Amino acid sequence: MTRIVLTAEQAAILARSDQAVPVVRPDGSCVGWVSPTTNFVIPKENPFTAEEIAAAEAEAAGPGPWYTTQEVLEHLRSLDPPQP
C-alpha cells in the first residue's frame, strides 16, 4: 500500500484547521480534500452527473442479469493468460 507521510509542519496545519483541507499537486490541481476530524479523503466534487447517477440507480433496480461472486471470479480468471 502506498502512503504519503506529512511533514511535521503539514500535520500541524491540518490539526489547526476546522474544515477540510485541499490537497494539491505541484501544478496546483486539486487531488481531493482531507478532513482534519476523520481519516477520510473527501473528493472535491462528485465525478458523476445527476443523469449518470439516475441511470445507474435505474439499472441496479432492473431485472439483471445478475452474477454471483463465484461467477465473476471464474470469468476474471478465464481472462488471465495460462501460467507456464
- 65 in a structural domain: yes
pLDDT digits (tens, 9 = 90+) for 5-32: 999 999 898 889 888 888 888 998 888 8
- 3 in a structural domain: no
- 60 in a structural domain: yes
The pLDDT score that the predictor gives to residue 43 is 67
- 19 in a structural domain: yes
CB of 7 closer than 8 Å to CB of 15: no
| Number of domains present in the structure of the chain | 1
Q: Kindly report whether the global pTM for this prediction surpasses the value 0.85.
A: no
- 84 in a structural domain: no
Range of the domain at 17: 8-79
- List CB contacts of 6: < 8 A, sequence separation 6 or more: 14
- 2 in a structural domain: no
CB of 17 closer than 8 Å to CB of 24: no
pLDDT digits (tens, 9 = 90+) for 27-73: 988 888 887 777 666 666 667 778 888 888 888 888 888 899 999 99
CB of 20 closer than 8 Å to CB of 35: yes
CB of 36 closer than 8 Å to CB of 17: yes
pLDDT at 74 over 70: yes
The pLDDT score that the predictor gives to residue 44 is 61
